[in-house]
Amino acid sequence: MKKLLIFTLLVLMGIQFVPMNVPAEVPTKADEELQTPAEVEAILKRACFDCHSNHTNFPWYSSIAPASWFTKMHVKEGREHMNFSTWANYDDEKKLKYLQKIPKAIENNKMPLPSYLLIHNEAKLSEDDKKIISDWANEAAFDLE
């Protein structure tokens, strides 16, 4: 039993050296960022920005493996899929695709990722929040079409 404990501790210590780097704050040019009404921005910042922007607040445990791997993987993947910090660089077709997917993703409770919500209570969306985001996305999509 004691051996198992020591072994586990050693493994946990060992994996701390496995590098997995996602820059926390990537400099963003103001004119590249998504422009939205303040009301929409507040919700996106609270619920989506950790993974879909260059402004990620990494919690303390995200520097400890293996939690750090999951956190950084989500952030890396989230940013790759859709990054509000470089929004202006997307062409209209891509913006439209994202705007159409946003309401679906939140209505189906796929976003924010359920695993993220377990530890980020503040990111939970109320029905009102969902409506504000969906209305904004639908309108913005309509303007592009």
| Distance of alpha carbon 21 from alpha carbon 103, whole angstroms | 31
Of residues 1 and 38, the one with the C-beta less far from ligand HEC: 38
| Distance of alpha carbon 58 from alpha carbon 63, whole angstroms | 8
| Neighbour tally for 90: CB within 10 Å | 16
Segment contacting ligand HEC (CB under 6 A): 10-18, 62-70, 71-79, 86-94? 71-79
Of residues 13 and 64, the one with the C-beta less far from ligand HEC: 64
Match 């293996």 to its residue by tokens: 66
Separation of first and last alpha carbons in the chain: 64
- In whole angstroms, the minimum distance from the beta carbon of 50 to ligand HEC comes to 5
Please tell me whether residue 72 binds ligand HEC under the rule CB under 6 A: no
Which residues of the shown chain bind ligand HEC in the complex (CB under 6 A)?
A: 47-48, 50-52, 74, 77-78, 81-82, 98, 101-102, 105-106, 111-113, 116, 123
